[in-house]
């Protein structure tokens, strides 16, 4: 017998041993739950019959996860998954030839390749992935738009967080909705699929309500979406038992005491303007990420400051260690925290504040605050400001009474497109396209203004910060398309336009940004926030004078001086 033949026999022998070993290799619970949850989700959103809502798919999940207890090898799991798929017949399979212009950065089906050694299972999974005959029971469009809704997700009636399989249903119900219908998934800090095993372990091992709520919070925080607010009472109760007798504001990674209850502050020798540079021996930026960023979803650090200002100094104990800087001295000490305050003697730093919605400032500069201003007041403001040197529009807020067209009618010389929107394709999971909503045949919501030879053609300064979010960012993008607009401030919240609301299995609701927002040139806005021309350089000694407005005045005066 030749050497080649001997080598082939030995190789074959080892291959057989390897196959036998794989067949006998045990599979852990995390892997079983993960693989079943993936197949269950694929069928929910890709199967021609299941997507019609003919089956109680949550109950199917519960029933089959319980059956997984008897599955102990990958081979037996493959058989289980194959039988599960075959248990519900597909009426039709239709494969589409996708257009080249579809947005495909959220496609993530590589996990199917794991089953390439099982021809039958692999073929069925690939067919499901490619099927385009999909109904809209689990995800549909709002009328006259292409924003996804999940109105038939109503929760699991008998949900009990103490039951592991119920917690796993909660996880996979939400995880798969995000996997297939969150158009901004590709922008997450961590790949959504890569975190699944971690989520499975977290939900599986939650022995208490607090652990369960923390698992759910981590899941939602992973979206990196400022729209995705969720703060359960057990978490709040565990983290926010005691609060400080003062208010703070984050300025360049330092906490400034901006308001204080005088008697309680005096007890710890605290004063207005004191700078807190460390909390529990950790610098402010790091502890903000650890303590606040772990429980609040945020698109960027600018938005995270909102929650840090409010909650960073709260604690589980009635004192907290801080390093305080005052003038040229630095002191490290524990300060008292309280559940309630009897002291009502409150003082604050003298912040600069314009108390009117619109007024002339600095001789011949107009100022408009969009927070509560009405359409009629905007008209009066632009009429009075028609001969000013420039206008400052303050969008460090959420406008309550106006739309973008109420401003652009005065700032555009003609109608123009100011935003490009990426819509998820409801009947094509994971895909999206830059498309117009159905109402665009009547009114195009992504164009604004009209032909206007009398438009305001002097400098417009737009003020924005981390509180500029959602509708405010949409309005901001419209204002930015004005011919003479300069944007001043810091990164906005990075969560533009509408939200999708998803009811989780336990009945709680969570949100996520439902579309993707881009400038007409293709620059993305989700997570980044609006384009900024001049970043405001606030520091701990000048922030009370409103550096945003001062910078706006400076820029308008510079233009006037250049013209003269």
Tokens describing residue 528: 């980044």
Output b/e per residue, 102-141; b: 16+ Cβ within 10 A: ebeebeebeebeebeebeebbebbbebeebbbbbebbbbb
Tell me yes or no: is domain 358-563 CATH 3.40.50.300. Answer: no
The per-residue b/e assignment along 512-538, b for 16 or more CB within 10 angstroms, e otherwise, is bbbbbbbbeeeebbbbbbbbbeeebeb
Q: 230, 220 in Cβ contact below 8 A?
A: yes
Compute CA distances 199 → 171, 176, 225, 522, whole Å.
8, 12, 18, 34
Encoded tokens for 531: 């384009």
CB 500 within 8 A of CB 476: no
The segment(s) of the chain belonging to CATH 3.90.226.10 are 358-563
The pLDDT assigned to 363 comes to 85
Residue 101: what pLDDT? 82
Specify the pairing of strand 516-518 against strand 459-464: unpaired
Residue stretches of the chain with pLDDT short of 70: 1-24, 91-92, 97, 142-145, 436-443, 560-564
Class level of CATH domain 237-348: mainly beta
Alpha-carbon distance of 50 to 69, in angstroms, equals 25
Give the HSE-up count for residue 404: Cα atoms under 13 Å, Cβ half-sphere. 27
Whether the CB-CB separation of 359 and 340 falls below 8 Å is answered with no
- Max Cα separation, the chain? 103
Overall pTM surpassing 0.95 (yes/no): no
What would the pLDDT profile of 380-407 be if each residue is shown by its tens digit?
A: 999 999 999 999 999 999 999 999 999 9
Write phi, then psi, for 533 (nearest 5 degrees).
Answer: -85, -40
CATH 2.30.42.10 maps onto the chain at 237-348
């Amino acid at each position: 017998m030749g050497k080649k033949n001997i080598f082939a026999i030995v190789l074959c022998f080892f291959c057989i041993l390897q196959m036998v070993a794989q067949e006998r290799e045990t599979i852990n619970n995390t892997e079983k739950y993960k693989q079943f949850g993936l197949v269950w989700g694929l069928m929910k959103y890709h199967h021609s019959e299941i997507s019609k809502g003919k089956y109680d798919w949550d109950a199917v999940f519960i029933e089959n996860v319980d059956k997984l207890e008897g599955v102990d090898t990958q081979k037996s799991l493959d058989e289980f998954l194959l039988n599960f798929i075959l248990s519900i017949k597909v009426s039709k399979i239709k494969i589409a030839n996708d257009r080249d212009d579809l947005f495909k950065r959220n496609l993530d089906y590589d996990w199917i390749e794991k089953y390439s050694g099982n021809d039958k299972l692999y073929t069925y999974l690939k067919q499901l992935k490619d099927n385009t005959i999909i109904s809209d029971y689990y995800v549909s469009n709002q009328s006259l738009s292409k924003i996804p809704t999940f109105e038939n997700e109503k929760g699991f009636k008998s949900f009990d967080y103490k039951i592991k399989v119920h917690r796993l249903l909660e996880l996979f119900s939400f995880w798969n909705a995000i996997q297939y219908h969150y158009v901004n998934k590709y922008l997450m800090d961590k790949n959504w699929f890569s975190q699944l095993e971690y989520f499975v372990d977290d939900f599986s091992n939650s022995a208490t309500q607090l652990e369960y709520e923390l698992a759910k919070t981590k899941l939602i925080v992973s979206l990196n979406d400022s729209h995705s607010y969720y703060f359960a009472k057990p978490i709040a109760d565990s983290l926010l038992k005691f609060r400080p007798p003062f208010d703070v504001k984050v300025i360049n990674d330092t906490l400034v005491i901006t308001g204080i209850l005088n008697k309680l502050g005096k007890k710890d020798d605290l004063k207005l303007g004191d700078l807190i540079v460390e909390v529990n021996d950790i610098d402010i930026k790091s502890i903000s990420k650890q303590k606040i960023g772990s429980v609040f979803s945020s698109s960027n650090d600018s938005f995270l400051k909102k929650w840090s200002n409010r909650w960073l100094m709260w604690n589980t104990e009635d004192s907290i260690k801080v390093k305080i800087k005052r003038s040229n001295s630095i002191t490290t000490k524990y300060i008292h925290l309280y559940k309630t305050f009897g002291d009502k003697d409150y003082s604050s730093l003298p912040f600069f504040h314009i108390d009117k919605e619109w007024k002339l400032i600095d001789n011949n500069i107009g100022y408009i605050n969009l927070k509560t201003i009405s359409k009629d007041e905007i008209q009066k403001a632009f009429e009075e400001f028609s001969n000013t040197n420039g206008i400052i529009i303050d969008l460090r807020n959420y406008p309550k009474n106006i739309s973008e067209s109420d401003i652009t009618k005065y700032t555009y010389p003609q109608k123009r497109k100011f935003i490009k929107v990426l819509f998820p394709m409801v009947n094509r999971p994971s895909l999206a396209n830059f498309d117009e909503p159905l109402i665009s045949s009547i009114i195009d919501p992504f164009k604004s203004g009209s032909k206007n030879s009398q438009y305001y053609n002097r400098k417009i300064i737009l003020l924005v910060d981390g509180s500029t979010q959602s509708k405010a960012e949409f309005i901001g993008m419209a204002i930015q398309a004005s011919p003479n607009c300069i944007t001043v401030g810091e990164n906005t919240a990075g969560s533009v336009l509408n939200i999708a609301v998803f009811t989780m299995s336990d009945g709680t609701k969570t949100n996520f940004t439902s579309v993707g927002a881009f400038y007409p040139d293709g620059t993305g806005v989700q997570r980044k926030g609006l384009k900024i021309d001049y970043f405001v350089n606030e520091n701990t000694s000048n922030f009370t004078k409103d550096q945003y407005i001062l910078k706006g005045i400076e820029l308008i005066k510079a233009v006037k001086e250049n013209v003269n």
